[in-house]
Amino acid sequence: MAPKLECVLLNARNVIINKIGFKKTIPLNERFKREMVNYSTDRLAEWANEIVPYYARMLHSYNEASHYPPNFTQCESKFGWCDYKRVCELDRNLREIELTANYEVAKAWDI
């Protein structure tokens, strides 16, 4: 769970994050870390009252327009490259061909 979300849900200002390193190149004494993360009341309020609503409105407008333009800000994370990287790197007229040929349309998520 995201640390800020956990703080807001638990009405707390700090949370402990367990970091576990699986790479063998990381020394043993650095593979397991417990770190306390602290947030001020103002930062949590900003996150809950400004940042989350902003992105919720953006998601809503994307849904309304049925258009999701690539923004190229999160293409690589600590887990690797985004699964759609090869689509986004193509010219616009080739993306649908790539999607049709190499991706599968899954059942819509119904929460």
* Residues contributing to the site for ligand SF4 (CB under 6 A): 70-72, 74-75, 82, 84-85, 88
Nearer to ligand SF4, 11 or 71 (CB): 71
Nearer to ligand SF4, 52 or 88 (CB): 88
Nearer to ligand SF4, 29 or 71 (CB): 71
DSSP H/E element including 20:
strand 14-20
Minimal distance in Å, beta carbon 98 to ligand SF4?
A: 12
Could you give the C-alpha distances from 43 to 11, 12, 39, 55, in angstroms and in order? Answer: 13, 12, 6, 16
One-letter identity of residue 40? S
Minimal distance in Å, beta carbon 55 to ligand SF4?
A: 14
Burial bucket for residue 7 (CB in 10 Å: 0-12, 13-18, 19+): buried
Minimal distance in Å, beta carbon 11 to ligand SF4?
A: 33
